[in-house]
Amino acid sequence: MRGWICAETIEPVTLHGIIGRVVRPLIVVGGILPAVVLVIRLLTGTLGADPAEDLEHSTGLTALILLLSSLAMTPLKRLTGLTALVRLRKPLGLWAFAYAVLHLSCYLVFDQSLLWGEIGRDIVKRPYITVGFAAFLILLTLAITSPAAMIRKLGGQRWQRLHRLAYVAAVLAVLHFLWLVKLDITEPAIAGMVLIGLLALRIERPGTGKAERDEVV
Amino acid sequence: MLIRRNAEIPAREITPESLYLGRREWLTAAGVTLSALAPLSLVGCRKADAVESAQEEKPTPFDVATSYNNYYEFGIGKEDPKEYAGALTTSPWSVEVVGEVAKPGFVPIETLLKGLPTVERIYRHRCVEAWSMVIPWNGIMLKDLIARLEPNSNARFVEFTTLNRPKEMIGQRGRGLPWPYVEALRLDEAMHPLTMLATGIYGRSLPNQNGAPLRLVVPWKYGFKGGKAIVKIRFTSEMPSTTWNRVLPGEYGFYANVNPEVDHPRWSQARERRVGDFLKRPTLMFNGYADQVASLYAGMDLRRNY
């Protein structure tokens, strides 16, 4: 009995310890790195001929990749059995939000020169801007409600339902990407297929939903 | 200020390389007389237009103009043309002249252009994607070539076909646009003195990624109208079917005149980013050449004829 308890307690602690001590700091470094690279390239003039466009596109793409990575953690946990992976969803999601903020800022400043009337019209009139902005609002909501205190305040189930909106944000972000390209849809198509795969993995096993919720909360 | 400020002068972008000749020719083309002429003034003709009075227009650096190009024959990325266009052989080069014309046939480029007066012009270049540049072009006025080719009275349109050579044009091998790329103008647009066939930029011969050896330049239209590496000129009575119009008819029309009031279905055309700038600037009607070309479209609904 004693041995069993030891195994049960030590093993997860070790894994969580690895995630906590190694992977989470790695995510901090990995999260800052794309921004640092962009700033260095900007300062050294090694962005492309149109640096504003490069900044806008890179931050948007980074946000999307991080969002999809965050959503990939639960399926990955299922495939690998590493429950600790679930703990990476939040930091990855928050980094996705940070890059979404940078991406939106690029649009507001570089594309619109902070002309708020124009921005309002653009959001209403242009589908790819509308869905992009909607995705941002979802990420904003999720970021605000991400602290543990907010989970307690909202209640686990409500919080869980709210945070499923991350999938909606990802769908909108992929649409946003797909709608803005002129001809070559390779990149948005890849993102779309990854997202469809992730959604399929979640829908495939509806029976595990309850267990999932309990374990996450 | 030695140059009279004149509201009718829409261009004031001058490079040191082509300063004197370029400006004079431009002004001649625009039908503007000067009260005084500074032999080496670095200040171009100023437009009394509040819209952009704050920003002095500078020519786009040569390196930028030759490394940020839309030339899908060499790939879809903006840097692809510079990377892959080196594979293109531009000599020998012939242009096939066909259709409603007195002298059809294959004409070597040297013969085609021989003796035609050369011009050097600094034009704003506005892409349909809402970025822009300022480019000093050299070449000929298309109207001079058309006069030489003698189209007959049936000719109402001129069609330009771009090289189709997948062996040397990597972008033509896989997915992309239907090749060859085809663009066209109404004959009166083609005969307009602003319309050029360029053989060079910045006083040098045209780099491959910019459309060597021969490309169309129509400064009041979106850049995609300017076919590159032209191998065929066809005179016709019917409006030709053009590439982007065929691919996405709801987004790219035959006319493709720069118009800040008619948006692309997916994005605004009201403003543009001069490549290298961080902020956008207002787009000008007919790219700032309204005084010269607006009369070509008198009575036309520019919303419908986008």
Q: Does B273 touch chain A (CB under 8 A)?
A: yes
For residue B30 the two structure tokens come to: 């625009």
Q: What pLDDT digit, counting tens, does each position of A133-192 carry?
A: 999 999 999 999 999 999 999 998 999 999 999 999 999 999 999 998 877 888 999 999
Q: CB–CB of B277 and A52 under 8 A?
A: yes
A205: confidence class by pLDDT, cuts 50, 70, 90: low
Packing angle, helices A116-125 and A127-144, rounded to 10: 100
Q: Which of residues 46-105 of A touch B (CB under 8 A)?
A: 48-53
Q: Does A209 touch chain B (CB under 8 A)?
A: no
A12: confidence class by pLDDT, cuts 50, 70, 90: low
Instruction: Give the model's pLDDT for residue B168.
Output: 96
* B129, B268, B278: residue with CB nearest A110: B278
* A49, A110, A180: residue with CB nearest B64: A49
Q: B279 contacts in A (CB within 8 Å)?
A: 52, 109-110, 113
Q: CB–CB of B266 and A49 under 8 A?
A: no
Chain A residue with CA closest to B63: the answer is A49
- Distance of alpha carbon A157 from alpha carbon B243, whole angstroms: 54
Q: Does B129 touch chain A (CB under 8 A)?
A: yes
ipTM of the complex: 0.73
Classified as helix, coil or strand, B255 is: coil
Instruction: Give the model's pLDDT for residue B294.
Output: 96
* A113, A179, A184: residue with CB nearest B280: A113
A23: confidence class by pLDDT, cuts 50, 70, 90: confident
- Distance of alpha carbon B23 from alpha carbon B114, whole angstroms: 24
Q: B172 CA to chain A: closest CA distance, Å?
A: 14
Q: CB–CB of A51 and B175 under 8 A?
A: no
* A50, A118, A179: residue with CB nearest B131: A50
Q: B269 contacts in A (CB within 8 Å)?
A: none
- Distance of alpha carbon B198 from alpha carbon B196, whole angstroms: 6
Query: Between A70 and A15, where is the model more confident?
Result: A70
Chain A residue with CA closest to B279: the answer is A110
Q: CB–CB of B275 and A49 under 8 A?
A: yes
pLDDT at A212 over 50: no
For residue A131 the two structure tokens come to: 């869905």
Instruction: Give the model's pLDDT for residue B247.
Output: 93
Q: A183 contacts in B (CB within 8 Å)?
A: 72, 76, 176-177, 247
* A49, A51, A184: residue with CB nearest B76: A184
A14: confidence class by pLDDT, cuts 50, 70, 90: low
- Return the percentage of chain A with pLDDT > 90, whole number: 59
For residue A169 the two structure tokens come to: 């944000």
Of A169, A183, A21, the residue nearest B76 (C-alpha): A183
- Distance of alpha carbon B280 from alpha carbon B289, whole angstroms: 19
A203: confidence class by pLDDT, cuts 50, 70, 90: confident
Cis peptide before B180 (omega within 30 of 0): yes
Q: Does B289 touch chain A (CB under 8 A)?
A: no
Mutate to test the interface with B, among A182, A183, A185, A187 (most CBs of B within 10 A): A182
The arithmetic mean of pLDDT across residues A5-20, rounded, is 58
* A113, A122, A179: residue with CB nearest B268: A122
Q: A202 CA to chain B: closest CA distance, Å?
A: 33
Q: Which of residues 51-70 of B touch A (CB under 8 A)?
A: 63-64, 67-68
Please give the mean pLDDT across all residues of chain A: 85
Q: CB–CB of B278 and A109 under 8 A?
A: yes
Q: CB–CB of A52 and B278 under 8 A?
A: yes
Question: Who's near B160: CB < 8 A, 6+ residues apart?
Answer: B182, B183, B184, B185, B216, B227, B230, B232, B233
Q: In chain A, helix, strand, coil percent, each to 5?
A: 90, 0, 10
* A50, A110, A182: residue with CB nearest B275: A50
- Distance of alpha carbon A54 from alpha carbon A69, whole angstroms: 22
Question: Who's near A62: CB < 8 A, 6+ residues apart?
Answer: A34, A99
Q: Does B264 touch chain A (CB under 8 A)?
A: no
Q: What pLDDT digit, counting tens, does each position of A1-10 carry?
A: 444 444 444 5
Per-residue model confidence as pLDDT tens for chain B (306 residues): 344 444 343 444 443 444 444 444 444 444 433 333 333 333 333 333 333 333 357 899 999 999 999 999 999 889 999 999 999 999 999 999 999 999 899 999 999 999 999 999 999 999 999 999 999 999 999 999 999 999 999 999 999 999 999 999 999 997 789 999 999 999 999 999 999 999 999 999 999 999 999 999 999 999 999 999 999 999 999 999 999 999 999 999 999 999 999 999 888 999 999 998 999 999 999 999 999 999 999 999 999 899
Chain A residue with CA closest to B265: the answer is A126
- Distance of alpha carbon B155 from alpha carbon B233, whole angstroms: 12
Instruction: Give the model's pLDDT for residue A81.
Output: 84
Instruction: Give the model's pLDDT for residue B144.
Output: 97
- Distance of alpha carbon B128 from alpha carbon B197, whole angstroms: 20
Q: Does A2 touch chain B (CB under 8 A)?
A: no
A211: confidence class by pLDDT, cuts 50, 70, 90: very low
pLDDT at A71 over 90: yes
Q: Does A127 touch chain B (CB under 8 A)?
A: yes
Q: CB–CB of A127 and B129 under 8 A?
A: no
Q: Number of A to B CB contacts under 8 A, please give it.
A: 57
